Amino acid sequence: MDDDVVVLKSLDSLRNNEMVLGEENYDALANSIIMASPNSWFLKKWFTYYKDFNDTKWSESSCFVPWSLWHLFPSTINVVKERMLRPNWEEIKFLYHELWDWRDNYTVHLYSRFMVNVDGTPERSLQELSVLNTTYGEIARYVLWKDPKIRDITEWMV
């Protein structure tokens, strides 16, 4: 799991699958969270394609290859649509500028490497997060206080 993926709901219901990936968009799966049994056929097959890995075109091996394998061998993988990787990197504005209904998501990928470009800052203070009216703000409050509602924390901020 990438270090900027937030788990919002238990993944236990997915653990009985040999391989689980999230669909990033109509033509790609994502490797930001990989759930696989130790002997997953799909994972072993996918790994063989990394012999030709090109870091400047990382998405070919990391997103498009598993998508192609899924379509060739659909019974070897459980692909979670909508609930793992939405909003996706093409929808990043919904994380940092708008509100996205994430309540049914298992996970959300924050794409933190893009945060400074999209949000104008590399980080947010606790005070900012407590009132930030965006998806990112809601998720931060949910993680911090188990409740996404905007709150006034000025009383206990020193």
The string of pLDDT tens digits covering residues 90-119 is 999 999 999 999 999 999 999 999 999 999
- Average pLDDT rounded to a whole number, residues 128-137: 97
pLDDT in tens, 61-100: 899 999 999 999 999 999 999 999 999 999 999 999 999 9
Calculate mean pLDDT across residues 3-25. Answer: 97
pTM above 0.85, yes or no: yes
Return the pLDDT at 156: 81
* Strand positions, DSSP E, 5-145: 5-7, 19-25, 28-36, 78-80, 107-109
> Domain segments of the chain: what residues?
5-80, 89-156
What's the order of all strands across the beta sheet hosting 78-80? Answer: 28-36, 19-25, 78-80
Rounded Cα distance between 158 and 149, Å, is 22
